[in-house]
Structure 1
Amino acid sequence: METDNTKKFNKLFYELEHCRKDKQRKKIGEMNEIIDEMNEEEHKFVFKTELYNKMNKMIEKKKMSMENATWMLKHIGYCKVLKDIWNTCFEYSESNSIFEEMIFYENKKKEGKNEKLLIDLCECYLLLNRHASSELIPISVPYLLKAASVKDESEETQKEVEMALLALSCVDQFYDLRQELYLNDTKEIIKYHQEHRNFTKLAYQRAWEFLINRLRYDRSFEDMIVNELHFVGEATRELEELAINDDWNRKKGEEGGIKTKKELILLRWLHTIVAYFCYCHLRNEENVVLIDRISYVFRAANDNHRGIGLWYSYPLINAVENRAVKVDALLKGRAIDAVLERMQRPKLDDEITVECLQFLKNVSNRLEEEEKDEKEEEERKATKRKVFEKMEEEGYEDTITSFHETLKIFNRRYYHGLSLKFSDYLVNV
């Protein structure tokens, strides 16, 4: 897909090896601005294995300094991760294995270790690599945490902090990282920001994403996340600030993709909240406020921003499916109201409706589970009655009956786990 952006970038790239270091840096600055403007198709068109191999040859022949190379590679990786672009070309390039060797070599040095180079190499490696080496991750994490712990609040330093945290958040959630390598430092980084509010919004979100993902294998610090660092309150505040005064009132029918940096950060917070509800099972009263905020933007985004509207349904589904909140909290947080309102719309041929059905199915399943504790059983019955009244009030039974045939299409096309039995979608007291 050749466009003005790809033509300009390729022209500048092939001029690099004929430039002096200072002029080369100026051209890379221009190239980084072009990368900012690239969409996913343009990114994949330009950043192929051949380009990374060419860069490696230029470094070997001293036609590009390592400093300039890492500057450009970090920016490529930054945009790739920020825009959630799936591109594995770097992993199959010569640069990937060269960077691995350099990280191992520099890290083993007893004297004369170049930590700045190590941090740059680790950032490039993690930002551009979907499948980082299990041997390199424990080496990279301490250096990146050190870079993210710098207290200087200058704009340049904060960009470096943001880059380090962005790279850290790329550590696969399936990787079981030893607690002593990350927990204390990450906690201090988050606490320092809470006291000084010095991070960019992206940096703060990524710090949380890195920490929450570690819960997958180690839930021993759940209490710290919930009651000391107050993740729920922080996430609620961030959602409010990102969503406030946003242009939710776009033209009717405009679906719109995720385009602005603000929207991309908002989307990443939703990813992190989904992970929180999956991995953290400590219930907290603040959950009601978070659910209410999610429900509010779910309503607002459904009209005019389908991309964000769809992602706002996932935390609600995970919250009920993983028992992270009581069903009563979903009522108080107006999640059930928001989902039922979505179900009343005449257009049901999209994924959001499927997710709404899954949410309601999970609610129904939860309300059918009898509690052993007598008091909790009474609470369950009372909540069940409220949910039934809410569904009856909204005419939910009629809605499901009206779209029986559509449900078959949903089940076949989107969500194979959905049942076709009406009783699964209704709450019977």
Structure 2
Amino acid sequence: MRNECMSDNFVQNLSLRDKFSKMFSELEHCPESEQKQKIGEMNEIIDEMNVEEFKSVFTTRMFNKMDKLIEEKKLQLGNAILLLKHAGFCKALKRIWIEEFEYSTLNERFKKMIAEEEGKKDEKNEKLLTEICECYLYLNDRTISRLPYACVTCLLKAALKKEESKEVQEEAEMALLALCSIGENFVEQKLYLSDIKEIIKYHQEHRNLTRLGYQSAWQFLNDQLFIDDCLNGEIVNELHFAREVGKELEEFAKCVDWKKEKEEEMGKEMKEELVLMRWLQTLEFYFGCCRLKNEEFAGLIGGIAWVYRAAKGNNGVIRNQCVVAFEKAAENRTVNVEGLLKGGAVDAVFEEMQQPTLNIDRVCGFLQFFENVSNRLEEKMDDEMEEEQRKETKRKIFEKIEEEGYEDTVTSYHGLFHFLKVKIFYSGALSVDISDYCENV
């Protein structure tokens, strides 16, 4: 039965790939108007592709073929951009890694076009430049040259438009998602800081961006924080990252369709889930880089706890990512342990540890969470007020353990913790079912 199911899935996957490839081969024989219609259908197929299917289609050979069709004027440039922008958007949203575009002649064509358009002394074709920059950044996983920096101003200009229309919102979303595709490549602050702050602040007041657009703006800024500590003040105290993301996570917890009822939706990641995962992954790096304390952290922890509980029984991947966020927050010395307690992280951890069946990744993360919290509560503070706060937080946590009856849970895991740390240290993962060691918890 298992082999039959695998065979059925293979045929289904193969038919999707073949259907796309067949339509691509027909493009050079179509008039311009029909090309556009066919590409629209191809974009719908891209939406249905999983990672393996996407990689099997978007190869260096395909990109080279597209470049040849453009050169021979058998494929209109605007239509090619229509296909590549959509493919790149899906690639960036789903975090698909491919290196195929980097080695293609189409990549060289786009680099040349960007340089030529950017170098014009007379009026530039801003729309074309924006679209080429988006395609280039979406599809290039190794943007190591100086060229992407020339794209920053262009994409920020597109994202700064403030008209409240669906078309402008989509343009801003495309530009910001492409911008954060630059990743952890250093960009000089003078090229982006004032504009990205204006984009974020304007959205905080007017809510003009899409959820993905707003997340992308923050991700770009956090990627720069990873290599530029000077951004801590702007992100923490001026733009109020913790407060804003806490609100976003609560809203996502309420709006995501956690229980998919339609058969065709089962096993698929909806756009809201993908954006939510991007927020959580951004938080993982944020907690590793943030160096300033802020009273708003409790609200951020509360937002993670909201998502963690909402995803219970519905999305294990998102729940695991929440655990990573809890663990990193407990490790970060700028996040008060009191904030972890107020935000509900401690409650969420205890609730999970008492479940009859346990997830290996989550349990290991929670044990690390408790070690981080325990170590911090044992460290005496030089500042008198901070020392009193430490003692008070420690007292509250022990009271919670007693009131909720968590003593047995803590005791049961005490002996297990050293074993898990040694096992993971030497093997990188657990090769055993953790439930075998936790049956009596």
TM-score under structure 2 normalisation? 0.87
The superposition leaves residues 196-219 of structure 1 with CA deviations (integer Å, 9 ceiling, x where unpaired) of 212111111111111122112333
2:413 aligned with 1:400, yes or no? yes
> Equivalent residue for 1:127?
138
- What amino acid does structure 1 have at the position aligned with 2:276? L
**Whole-angstrom CA distance in 2 between matches of 1:299 and 1:63:** 53
For residue 228 of structure 2, give the secondary structure of its aligned residue in structure 1. coil
In the superposition, relative to structure 1, how do residues 245 and 157 fare at CA in structure 2: closer, same or farther (>3 Å)?
closer
> Equivalent residue for 2:165?
154
**Whole-angstrom CA distance in 1 between matches of 2:21 and 2:218:** 36
Mapping for residues 249-268 of structure 1, pairs under 5 Å = 259-268=269-278
> Equivalent residue for 1:427?
none
- What amino acid does structure 1 have at the position aligned with 2:305? S
Residues 85, 134 of structure 2: 8 Å contact kept = yes
> Equivalent residue for 2:68?
57
The match for 1:374 among 381, 384, 395 is: 384
> Equivalent residue for 1:342?
352
Residues 232, 292 of structure 2: 8 Å contact kept = yes
- What amino acid does structure 2 have at the position aligned with 1:357? L
2:367 aligned with 1:357, yes or no? yes
In the superposition, relative to structure 1, how do residues 257 and 340 fare at CA in structure 2: closer, same or farther (>3 Å)?
farther
2:246 aligned with 1:236, yes or no? yes
In the superposition, relative to structure 1, how do residues 61 and 209 fare at CA in structure 2: closer, same or farther (>3 Å)?
same
Residues 354, 414 of structure 1: 8 Å contact kept = no
Kindly state the Cα deviation for residue 142 of structure 1 after the two structures are TM-superposed.
0.5
Q: Once structures 1 and 2 are overlaid, which stretch shifts more, 319-328 or 118-127?
A: 319-328
The match for 2:221 among 211, 218, 224 is: 211
In the superposition, relative to structure 1, how do residues 101 and 222 fare at CA in structure 2: closer, same or farther (>3 Å)?
same
Q: Once structures 1 and 2 are overlaid, which stretch shifts more, 54-63 or 265-274?
A: 265-274
> Equivalent residue for 1:313?
323
**Whole-angstrom CA distance in 2 between matches of 1:320 and 1:413:** 24
Residues 144, 165 of structure 1: 8 Å contact kept = yes
Q: Once structures 1 and 2 are overlaid, which stretch shifts more, 159-168 or 380-389?
A: 380-389
For residue 181 of structure 2, give the secondary structure of its aligned residue in structure 1. coil
- What amino acid does structure 2 have at the position aligned with 1:116? K
In the superposition, relative to structure 1, how do residues 338 and 127 fare at CA in structure 2: closer, same or farther (>3 Å)?
same
For residue 3 of structure 1, give the secondary structure of its aligned residue in structure 2. helix
- What amino acid does structure 1 have at the position aligned with 2:51? E
For residue 169 of structure 1, give the secondary structure of its aligned residue in structure 2. helix
**Whole-angstrom CA distance in 2 between matches of 1:112 and 1:246:** 44
The match for 2:182 among 171, 184, 187 is: 171
The match for 1:87 among 77, 90, 98 is: 98
> Equivalent residue for 2:206?
196
Count of residue pairs brought into register by the alignment = 411
Kindly state the Cα deviation for residue 403 of structure 1 after the two structures are TM-superposed.
4.3
Same amino acid, percent of matched pairs: 50
**Whole-angstrom CA distance in 2 between matches of 1:20 and 1:414:** 55
For residue 303 of structure 1, give the secondary structure of its aligned residue in structure 2. coil
The match for 1:285 among 267, 286, 295 is: 295
The match for 2:87 among 67, 76, 79 is: 76
Provide structure 2 residue ranges, at least 5 long, that are not aligned to the other structure: 1-9, 431-441
Residues 215, 279 of structure 1: 8 Å contact kept = yes
The superposition leaves residues 43-68 of structure 1 with CA deviations (integer Å, 9 ceiling, x where unpaired) of 11111111111101101111112211
Kindly state the Cα deviation for residue 326 of structure 1 after the two structures are TM-superposed.
0.8
Residues 149, 161 of structure 1: 8 Å contact kept = yes
> Equivalent residue for 1:100?
111
Residues 274, 318 of structure 1: 8 Å contact kept = yes
In the superposition, relative to structure 1, how do residues 403 and 15 fare at CA in structure 2: closer, same or farther (>3 Å)?
same
**Whole-angstrom CA distance in 2 between matches of 1:309 and 1:363:** 20
Residues 278, 324 of structure 1: 8 Å contact kept = no
The match for 1:40 among 47, 51, 60 is: 51
Kindly state the Cα deviation for residue 92 of structure 1 after the two structures are TM-superposed.
1.9
In the superposition, relative to structure 1, how do residues 105 and 311 fare at CA in structure 2: closer, same or farther (>3 Å)?
same
The superposition leaves residues 348-377 of structure 1 with CA deviations (integer Å, 9 ceiling, x where unpaired) of 352111111111111122123221122322
Provide structure 1 residue ranges, at least 5 long, that are not aligned to the other structure: 417-429
Detail structure 1 runs of 4+ shifted over 6 Å in the superposition. none
**Whole-angstrom CA distance in 2 between matches of 1:401 and 1:195:** 48
CA RMSD, 1 decimal: 2.3
Residues 200, 214 of structure 2: 8 Å contact kept = yes
For residue 311 of structure 2, give the secondary structure of its aligned residue in structure 1. helix
For residue 85 of structure 2, give the secondary structure of its aligned residue in structure 1. helix
> Equivalent residue for 2:313?
303
> Equivalent residue for 1:421?
none
Residues 258, 308 of structure 1: 8 Å contact kept = no
- What amino acid does structure 2 have at the position aligned with 1:397? V
- What amino acid does structure 1 have at the position aligned with 2:55? K
> Equivalent residue for 2:279?
269
For residue 202 of structure 1, give the secondary structure of its aligned residue in structure 2. helix
**Whole-angstrom CA distance in 2 between matches of 1:169 and 1:238:** 19
In the superposition, relative to structure 1, how do residues 260 and 248 fare at CA in structure 2: closer, same or farther (>3 Å)?
closer
For residue 227 of structure 2, give the secondary structure of its aligned residue in structure 1. coil
Kindly state the Cα deviation for residue 118 of structure 1 after the two structures are TM-superposed.
1.5
2:22 aligned with 1:23, yes or no? no
In the superposition, relative to structure 1, how do residues 123 and 166 fare at CA in structure 2: closer, same or farther (>3 Å)?
same
2:156 aligned with 1:145, yes or no? yes
> Equivalent residue for 2:14?
3
**Whole-angstrom CA distance in 2 between matches of 1:245 and 1:32:** 26
**Whole-angstrom CA distance in 1 between matches of 2:186 and 2:246:** 28
Kindly state the Cα deviation for residue 319 of structure 1 after the two structures are TM-superposed.
1.4
Q: Once structures 1 and 2 are overlaid, which stretch shifts more, 382-391 or 158-167?
A: 382-391
